[in-house]
Structure 1
Amino acid sequence: MLTHVIAPTRDFTQISNVLVWDDDLSDTAFRLLVRALALGPAKARTTTVTALAAGLSGGRISTDRARRQLGRAGLLHSTRRRGTDGRVRTESLLSNVPLTTDEARRVFDAHPEIVGRGTAGRRPEAGKRTRGAPTARASGTVPPGETPEVNTSPLPTPVPVPRSVPAPAPAPPAVPCGPTGRAQLAEAEQVLQGLRRVDQRLTLGADEARKLAPLAAEWLARGVDRAALRTALTSGLPEPVGSSAALVRWRLEHKMPAPVAESAGPAALPACDGCDRAFRPVGAERRCGGCRAGAAPRERAAQLDEGASRRVDWRTLVARVGRAVDETLPAAPACTR
């Protein structure tokens, strides 16, 4: 391997060969150290180690590992000090030779002041006392030699802002106060308190269940049973459930079924033709079952009498057949001699 080295005359950094061949330092640690040593004294006082590592590859994890390696090698030391701007900052010391803690402290003590960002040459004024009267004028006074200007512009007329009247909250459905209404309220409250057994996210307190009971009782009054009400409140819950009481109220109000229409009552029953009593007909019947049962024997006897009157004996039938045959056969010719 051949090497060709030309000593630079400007813009170079001196680094020890011990650090070049130190296997305990990673590439990121070595580059971080070289970058710090390449800065001038004034620029180094206003630059942080984090700013130096901004352009290195590997990210924050590699940078933190490089800082720990430099600290173990004695090449990096840090301390917290208050700068001239009054802020507490962390100042780091990077060296091209290993330093002990005492040696690093002596270097920090040799440079007591930390120049803050944008505050070079300025010292904080807090804590200093001066003699004599205060120089700051009181609030509302006019400096000597100045005449206060009189504001003659008219005051703006306040524009009344219309108040938006909030819409009244819908009143809960009225539940009858009788025994049936109280029973529906109690049953509805039991259904609401039992929702937590289906889904823990629908756990309601006693006061919440009592306030929502009139809405649930209206469901029961409209013909919805307990199982259907429980299914309507627990099926298809969103993720996550923010407020169980608000969710149950919204479903009770917006999913309530339509009220059951009142029936016009049963139709009037026809009267029996035999006894004039009302009966429920089957088909086109005009008599009740009792009248039909009583008239059945008489109708059967009449049918039998009618059949007997129409019955013909065998002699009459033979005579009728003979006459029919004579009518169909041609007459025989007369005999001549």
Structure 2
Amino acid sequence: MASQHTSVRPHPSGLIHDNVRHSTRYTVVGNHLAQHRKLTLVARGLALLLQSLPAGASVGIKAIAAQVPESELRVARAMRELEAHGYLARLRERLPDGRIASRTISYNRPKAEHPHLPSTPGQAPSAPEAPEASEVPASETPAPTSTGPMSADPEPPPSPPTPPSPPTTSTAPAAPAPPTTLTPPSPPTAPAPNTPPADPPSDPPSAARHRAAAELLARLRLHSPRLLLSERDILRLAPDVTVWLERRVHPDAVLQALSARLPDDLAHPAGFLAHRLRTLLPPPLPAQPPAPDPFQTCDGCDRPFRAPQPGRCRDCRPAEREAA
């Protein structure tokens, strides 16, 4: 019987790191962001992309969506996530010439953990911050030795208490109060006679005008269950559909334009339909020329001629005037 080799190490299970040390073109990212439990993977990837871009780069929603295989809706949703957790701030400033400029600030740590950070861009912090132990390049992070769950998200430290403001003293003398005048009580009013309740008001003219558009929007869920709209959304979108119908667009054509080629990540159908109703609005039809006058038979020579009413033609009218 062959002897067993007890010195052979068993194959490890789980993650194995095969890292190469980076010397150029790398970005330092903290584990609090890479292992954040409340941020989606798209939001974490967007935060990593923003940290890797140089200062002054264009980071609008359209510019970011052009660089990654994500839609503008998902990029906008990821930016809102980063803003909610303190990794991103978007500001709008008015320039001296009156124009509005957008400023985007990307924090490598949540803003709540840096009470000394300036509230506006361009202002230097009061003191440099020591780097966190976990903020090292991903290639230099040692492999974890335990198989337990990842560490929880760091909680922001409590903000220092605000000192009470000193009481303000006024040196001006208080104005004298005006004299109080007594008003005699008014006599009791006789109760109003019982009047029959008024009829409930009918629908306003605008509601009757948009009734066909509201019914069309309610039928959209029959074409696609993802286009289920609330009553409030239908009342808000009905005026835009009415414009289509008043431009003599057939209701079936409106349904086809609104329900065709829906995106896979449709999360807000009301906003999507409002965008289509405004961007795909067809132009009004050109004005038709007026219809010509009908043919009439002349009472004098029995010749046909065009006129709005029966009578005599142009050749017979001068003779009629001379006979008179």
Fold shared by both chains (TM-score > 0.5): no
- The structure with more radius of gyration: 1
TM score, norm. by length of structure 1: 0.32
Structure with the larger RCO, 1 or 2 (CA within 8 Å, 6+ apart): 2
